[in-house]
Each structure stands twice: as C-alpha cells, then as structure tokens.
Amino acid sequence: MKSIQATFEINGHEVTLSSAPNRTLLEVLRQDLGLTGAKDACGGEGECGACTVIMDGKAVNSCLVFIGQVQGCSIETIEGLSGNGDLHPLQRAFVEVGAVQCGYCTPGVIMASKALLNENPHPSDEDIREGLSGNLCRCTGYVKIVDAVRIAAEQQPRR
C-alpha cells in the first residue's frame, strides 16, 4: 500500500500530510490533526452523523471520505467555528436553549446545522428536521435541537 499525500484546507489553514490511503478523513482529523470534535458513533457506516464536517460548503460524514478524496478541498470542523473564542450563533443557541445533554452528537449536529443555514438561512421546522435527519441523538429527542437551530436562524439578518 503506497501512502499518499493530501493537501487541503482545514479551518482556513492549509495542511499537507501523508497517510495510508485506507484512512478516512475522520481518522486523520482525530489522530493526526488532534481535532477530536468530530466523533465516531456508528463505526464508520454513515448512520449517525456524529462525524459531520463541512467539505467544500456541504455537510458530509467524514467517516465516509477517504483521505485521498480530500485533496484540494476545504474542510471546516467544529473547532473552526468559534475562531477567536466567541461562540458562533448556533453554538450560543445550543447552549442557551439547553439542546446539549451528553454532547457526543453535538459537534456533528452543529456542523450539519451550519451547512443547512448556509444554504437555507431561514428554514422551516420541516427543513431543519430534514437537514438534521442524518444526525442521531439519543438524549434530547431533538426538540431543543430544532428549537436552537430555529433561534439561531432567526438571529440572522433577513435577506
């Protein structure tokens, strides 16, 4: 197995790394880059959304992306969201509404929410449910998660 080189942007910074090709973006984020916000909850099957990151503007499961596929892409993880210490409006809403319990799904849910709001700044509740249907949460029953995303969206300026 020949290792491969991948150059990509992560939270605004370019990185180049070499890796065995059979590793996923999730593994590289967690093991090589120390970005442990994205989680593995389903064993890399794309069934839980806990590893959701934004890849070229779109929400993806980082467990379903081989590292070679990231070449030239721009990746945004939860660690990049609150850059200078200030919480992103979504993060703030999750804290304020009480949408966080065990928190294991939270980074993935927030990244999926961010991708949703990028494309649809003022989603209906149905849009929010559709946009987050790939993110499993066992603690909250989703009620306060949907509330938090709605509140964060309402705080954005209307176009």
Partner 1 sequence: MLEFDFLTPNRLDESTAILEETGGCILAGGTDLIPKMRNDLFFAPILVDLSNIDELSFIEEKDDQIVIGALTTHQAIAESALLKSTNPALVTAAGTVGCVQTRNRGTLGGNIANASPAADSVPPLLVYDAQIRLLNKAGERTMPLTEFLVGPGMTKLESGELIHSVSFSQLQGAWGGAFQKLGVRNGMAIAVVSVAAAIVLDASGKVSDTRLALGSVASTVVRSPKAESALIGHEPTPEVVSRAAEACAEDISPISDVRSTAEYRRHAAIVLARRVLEQAAAEARGRLV
Partner 2 sequence: MTEETLTLGKSELRKDAWDKVTGAAQYVADIPLTDLCHAVIVRSPLHYGRILGINKSAAQNIPGVLRVLAAEDIPGNKIFGPLLQDQPSLAIDIVRHLGEPVAIVIADNLETARMASELVKVEYEPLEPVFDPGQSLKPGGPRLHPEGNLAAQFDIQDGDIEAGFAEADVVLENTFSVPRISPAYMEPENSLARWNEDGLITVWVSSQHPFTDQVFIADALDLPVEKVQVKSAVIGGAFGGKEDSSLAILAALSAWAVRGAVRIVNTRNESFLAHPKRHPALIKMKLGAKRDGTLVALRAMSHMDTGAYASYGPAVGIIFTETLAGSYRIPNVHFETFVAYTNSPLSGAMRGFGSPQSHFALESMLDMLAAELDMHPLALRRKNMLRPGDKMFTGVVVNDTANSLPICLDQAEAIIKRFSQIEPAPGKTVGVGMALAAQSMGLGAKVPDDSTHRLEWSPDGDVYVHLGSPDMGQGLAMAAEQVTAEALGLPYEVVKTIPLDTLTSPNGNVTCASRMTYMVGNALIDAADRLIQQLLDEAARMMNFPREQLSYQVGRVVCPDGQKVDAAEIASRVADDGRTLQCESTFSFPYPEETTPQHLPIGMPHVIFCFGAQIVRVEVDPEIGNVDVTHLVAIHDVGRVISKPAVEGQIEGAVATGLGYALYEEMPLKEHQQWVDSFTEYLIPTTKDVPLNYEIIILEVPEASGPYGAKGIGEIPLVPTAPAVANAVYDAVGVRVKSLPLTPEKLIKI
Residues forming contacts to partner 2 in the complex (CB under 8 A) are 30, 34-43, 45, 47-48, 50, 77-79, 81-82, 87, 91, 94-98, 100-107, 110, 125, 128-130, 132-146
Tell me which residue has tokens 């990509």: 8
In the three-class reduction of DSSP (H, G, I as helix; E, B as strand; rest coil), residue 53 is classed as: strand
70-99 binders of partner 1 (CB under 8 A):
71-72
**Contacted by 74, from partner 1, partner 2, none: CB < 5 to 8 Å by type:** none
**Contacted by 96, from partner 1, partner 2, none: CB < 5 to 8 Å by type:** partner 2
- DSSP of 90-121: HHHHHHHHT--SS-SSHHHHHHHHHHHHHH-S
What are the backbone angles phi and psi of residue 58, rounded to the nearest 5°?
Answer: -120, 145
- Residue 8 or residue 94: which is nearer to partner 2 going by CB? 94
Q: Kindly state whether residue 49 participates in binding partner 1, applying the rule CB under 8 A.
A: yes
Measured from the CB of residue 27, what is the shortest distance to partner 2 in angstroms? 9
Closest CA to 146 of 113, 104, 111: 113
Q: Which stretch binds partner 1 (CB under 8 A): 7-15, 68-76, 80-88, 146-154?
A: 68-76
Measured from the CB of residue 159, what is the shortest distance to partner 2 in angstroms? 25
Order of strands across the sheet that contains 52-55: 13-19, 4-10, 74-76, 52-55, 58-61
